Amino acid sequence: MSTTYDAVIIGTGQAGPPLAKRLSAAGMSIAIVERHLFGGTCVNTGCIPTKAMVASAYAAQMARRAADFGVALDGSVRVDMPRVKARTDAISGRSRAGVETMLRHLDRCTVYTGHAAFRSAHEVAVADSVLRADRIFINVGGRAAPPPLPGLDRIPYLTNTSMLRLDAVPPHLVIVGGSYVGLEFGQMFRRFGAQVTIVEMGPRLVGGEDEDVSAAIHDILTGEGIDVRLNARCTRFTERSGRAIAHVECSAGSPAVDGSHVLMATGRRPNTEDLGLDAAGVARDDRGYIVVNERLETSVPGIWALGDCNGRGAFTHTSYNDFEIVAANLLDGASRSVSDRIPAYALYIDPPLGRAGLTVSDARRRGRSVLVGTRPMTRVSRAVEKGETSGLMKIVVDAASQEILGAAILGTGGDEAIHCVLDAMYAKAAYPILQRAMHIHPTVSELVPTLLGELKRPDGST
C-alpha cells in the first residue's frame, strides 16, 4: 500500500525525532520509521547507558577513596554488576520509552517499525508499505565496525552494544582501540574490578589531542592500574583454553595479549549499505557516508542526511545540531550551515576531558601564530578541595587577532567548564573579554580568565 506524506524520516536517532516534532508543529504530515530501538545509539547503546555506568564506576572509586575524605566504610567495596546493569537499563529504557511515546502521540505523525529502504527518490519501502514524500530525511546512524582481522570471527568478541549486556565483571578485559569508546569502558571496568589492557596502534591515546593532554590521560588510566600498550598493532586473534589472545606487532612488550574478554573499540561504520540509496541516486563516499553539502542536502534534491551517517559529526550534539540546521533552513527561512559550528566533545573518563575548537597542534598546522595558557589541576582550588587533582587545563589563542582558537579542560568538571570557552568562541569574543570576566569562586571555570592572563608562546617564551 502506498501512502503520501509531506515528509518521511528514516531512523529515530538524535535528529529524526526532534525534526518530526518541528515538522508536525508546522502542520506537515510525517512518517517516521525505526527498525530497531527507538532513540538509536545514544539512548540504547551509546551516551546514556555508558554515562550511567561511568556514574556507577565513579561511586565505586569514591567508596574506595572514602578514607581520604575522612569517611569510614566498614568492609570492602564490592560492585554488584547485575544492579549496575539494572540501573543502566532503567535509565536507558525510560529514555527509549520517552522517544517512542512522544512520536506515537505526535499530531499528524505515523510511526512505522521495520527496515526502510528507498525505492526511488520519493519512495521508501517498509515491509509491504510504500511511503511517498517530496522531503525525505535520513537519520540512520552507524554501528561498531571491527576490522576483519584473522581469527576475530572465532572468538566471542564484544562491542559497545554487547558490553552493556555483561552482568558479571570480566576477569581480564582486553580493549583494542585507545579512543573514547575504549577508554571509557576501560576505566569503568577497571573500577568495577576487572584487569584491563588497552591495545592502541598509535604512539599515544586519543591521538587527535595535544601530546600533553594525551600524556595526562595516559597517567590517569595507568595510575588506576590499567595496562596501556602503545605502538601495538593488533594483527590477529587466537583462542586457547577459553581465553582470547590478541597478537600484536610491537617493538616493546609481549607480542601476545591474553584476556578473558576482548572489546573491539576500533571505529564505526554508517548504516547506509542496505538503505537502497542507489535506487534514489543518493551518493555515498568510499567509506559509506552519505555525501552532503553545508546545508546537509544530499546529491538528490529533497533528500537530507543528518547525524552520524553523513560523516560530518559523530556525536549526539552534532546530530542534534544537524536537526537544528535543517529545520531552521526549511521552516524559518534561515541560511544555517554545518561549517558554522565549532568542534566540541567530551571524553567521559574520570576526570572528564572537555574539548572546544582547535588543539595547539591543529592551530599551528593551520599557520596560526599562537599563545597558549596551561595550568595543572593541582593548581585549581576547586579540584584540590574535591581531592580530584588529575589533569590540566589549556587554552590557545591567536597572537595577532586575539581570537580564542580552542581549549581543553581535562579535570573535574571539565565537561561543563569548557562551555564558558565554547560560548565565548561562538560570540567571537576576543580573549581579553573572557580574561576580564568575573567568574564564581571556587569553580574550575574561574581559572579560565587566569589562564588567559598567563599566555605564552608554545616554546615557553612570553
Ligand X SMILES: Cc1cc2nc3c(=O)[nH]c(=O)nc-3n(C[C@H](O)[C@H](O)[C@H](O)COP(=O)(O)OP(=O)(O)OC[C@H]3O[C@@H](n4cnc5c(N)ncnc54)[C@H](O)[C@@H]3O)c2cc1C
CA–chain centroid gap for 439, Å, is: 29
Least distance in Å: CB of 308 to ligand X? 4
Residues 419-438 touching ligand X, rule: CB under 6 A, are none
Q: Does 42 bind ligand X (CB under 6 A)?
A: yes
> How many Cα atoms occupy the beta-carbon half-sphere of 75 within 13 Å?
3
Using CB under 6 A as the binding rule, the residues of this chain from 334 to 363 that contact ligand X are 348
35 part of the interface to ligand X, by CB under 6 A: yes
Q: Which residue among 206, 221, 275, 383 contacts ligand X (CB under 6 A)? A: 275
Of 186, 307, 311, 352, the one binding ligand X (CB under 6 A) is 307
Q: Of 116 and 280, which has the nearer Cβ to ligand X?
A: 116
Nearest-angstrom CA–CA distance, 20 and 318: 17
Sole window of 56-64, 248-256, 304-312, 332-340 interacting with ligand X (rule: CB under 6 A): 304-312
Choose, by CB under 6 A, the member of 88, 92, 95, 319 that binds ligand X.
319
Is residue 377 within 8 Å of 394, Cβ to Cβ? no
The residue type of 17 is P
> Considering the complex, what minimum distance in angstroms separates the CB of residue 136 from ligand X?
12
Query: Residue 184 CB, nearest distance to ligand X (Å)?
Result: 7
Please say which residue, 321 or 390, places its beta carbon nearer to ligand X: 321
- The one segment of 41-49, 80-88, 98-106, 247-255 that binds ligand X by CB under 6 A: 41-49
Among 50, 92, 95, 374, binds ligand X (CB under 6 A): 50
Stretch that binds ligand X, among 39-47, 73-81, 192-200, 330-338 (CB under 6 A): 39-47
Contact residues for 427 (Cβ-Cβ < 8 A; gap 6+): none
List the one residue from 7, 23, 47, 392 that touches ligand X (CB under 6 A): 47
Q: Which is nearer to ligand X, 319 or 435 (CB)?
A: 319
How far apart CA 321 and CA 358 sit, in angstroms, is: 19
Is 189 a binding residue for ligand X by CB under 6 A? The answer is no
Query: Of 137 and 237, which CB lies nearer to ligand X in the complex structure?
Result: 137
Question: Is residue 11 at the binding interface for ligand X, with CB under 6 A as the rule?
Answer: yes
Cα–Cα dist 258/238, whole Å = 9
- The interface region with ligand X, picked from 47-55, 189-197, 288-296, 420-428 by CB under 6 A, is 47-55
Place of cell 532503567: 90
Q: Is 314 in the site for ligand X (CB under 6 A)?
A: yes
177 belongs to the binding site for ligand X (CB under 6 A): no
Q: Does 316 bind ligand X (CB under 6 A)?
A: yes
Active site residue 115: no
Q: Which stretch binds ligand X (CB under 6 A): 76-84, 139-147, 214-222, 385-393?
A: 139-147
CB nearest ligand X: which residue? 141
46 binds ligand X (CB under 6 A): yes
- Between 151 and 288, name the residue whose CB sits nearer to ligand X: 288
Closer residue to ligand X (CB): 9 or 455:
9
Length, in residues, of the chain: 462
Smallest distance, ligand X to C-beta of residue 163, A: 8
Distance separating alpha carbons of residues 342 and 336, to the nearest angstrom = 13
Residues that bind ligand X (CB under 6 A): 10-15, 33-37, 40-42, 46-47, 50-51, 115-116, 139-142, 160, 181, 271, 275, 307-309, 314-317, 319, 348
Please list the active-site residues: 441
